[in-house]
């Protein structure tokens, strides 16, 4: 769809459950997750118009939550292929040269920094940043002042995330080093989850759901609506025209 919610068009039409799309830096391709007939998830790649679908991973475990590197050469994703919990991995665009970034714990939904040198993801209930140059990890939040689903600002100086530190799921921002954590948005009704920064840095797109138990491991079955928040003014714009259950 367009940024204002118009021009919505369906790109896939399969029996599979498909989700977590990530645009290539040049806007010509989309990487995403999908399950097969046996319910196992893998990472797939397609053109931006939905054509030329290619399967990138074929592991018997779950490979999900892909994200594109800024240089367009690598894809980060999470997988439970080496243990009972999810670790973060990197691979080339053809699915080759898979390497583990983390080893143990529960590591969720990696996102590259704009310069490609770092990955932000949540470990358990806290936002962490992994430096791909020094191979070091830095925790940015500390449960119960928790943070999840981080998203980098285009200039790399800030990170948006969701937290239920105040008793409901709200949107927060912080500096890239974890300082200056501040609430950005609390919806009048329901939870604000899964924030994503716009390329121009002026807005954050997120999903609003009816208030539910803040548990990322619990499947969501309630209706969801996509909104855009204009950061400077606080203006909310509903993007999705229909709800999904």
Q: CATH no. for residue 100? A: 2.120.10.30
Same domain, 146 and 237: yes
Interval 35-68: pLDDT, tens: 986 778 999 999 999 999 999 999 989 999 999 9
Interval 101-156: pLDDT, tens: 999 989 999 999 999 999 999 999 999 999 999 999 999 999 999 999 999 999 99
Same domain, 72 and 153: no
Q: Is residue 130 part of a domain?
A: no
Please say whether the beta carbons of 80 and 86 come within 8 A.
Answer: yes
Compute the distance between CA of residue 93 and CA of residue 5 in angstroms, rounded to an integer. 30
Domain count, the chain: 2
The pLDDT of 179-196, averaged and rounded, is 95
Chosen domain end from 79, 105, 131: 105
| pTM of the model as a whole | 0.90
The pLDDT of 152-181, averaged and rounded, is 97
Q: Is residue 126 part of a domain?
A: no
204 against 1, higher pLDDT: 204
Residue 123 buriedness (CB in 10 A; 0-12 / 13-18 / 19+): buried
Residue 126 buriedness (CB in 10 A; 0-12 / 13-18 / 19+): buried
The answer, yes or no, to whether residue 245 has pLDDT greater than 60, is no
CA angle at 166 for the pair 163 and 169, rounded to the nearest 5°: 40
Q: Is residue 129 part of a domain?
A: no
Same domain, 91 and 162: no
CA angle at 156 for the pair 65 and 131, rounded to the nearest 5°: 65
Quick one: what percent of the chain has pLDDT higher than 70? 93
Q: Is residue 208 part of a domain?
A: yes
Owning domain of residue 98: 11-105
Q: Is residue 198 part of a domain?
A: yes
Compute the distance between CA of residue 23 and CA of residue 52 in angstroms, rounded to an integer. 15
Of 158, 168, 150, residue with least CA distance to 108: 150
**pLDDT the model gives residue 214:** 52
């Amino acid at each position: 769809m367009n940024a204002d919610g118009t021009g919505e068009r369906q790109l896939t039409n399969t029996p599979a459950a498909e989700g977590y799309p990530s645009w290539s830096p040049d806007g010509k391709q989309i990487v995403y997750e999908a399950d097969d007939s046996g319910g196992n998830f893998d990472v797939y790649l397609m053109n931006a118009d939905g054509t030329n679908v290619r399967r990138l991973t074929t592991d018997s475990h779950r490979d999900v939550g892909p994200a594109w590197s800024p240089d367009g050469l690598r894809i980060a994703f999470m997988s439970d292929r080496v243990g009972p919990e999810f670790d973060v991995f990197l691979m080339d665009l053809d699915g080759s040269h898979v390497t583990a970034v983390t080893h143990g714990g529960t590591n969720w939904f990696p996102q590259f920094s704009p310069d490609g040198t770092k990955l932000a993801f949540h470990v358990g209930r806290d936002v962490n940043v992994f430096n791909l140059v020094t191979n070091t990890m830095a925790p940015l939040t500390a449960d119960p002042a928790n943070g999840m689903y981080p998203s980098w600002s285009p200039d790399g100086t800030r990170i948006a995330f969701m937290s239920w530190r105040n008793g409901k799921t709200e949107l927060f921002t912080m500096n890239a080093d974890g300082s200056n954590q501040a609430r950005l948005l609390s919806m009048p009704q329901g939870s604000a989850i899964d924030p994503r920064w716009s390329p121009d840095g002026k807005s954050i797109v997120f999903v609003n759901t009816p208030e539910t138990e803040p548990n990322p491991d619990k499947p969501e079955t309630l209706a969801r609506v996509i909104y855009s928040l204009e950061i400077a003014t606080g203006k909310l714009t509903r993007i999705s025209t229909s709800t999904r259950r």
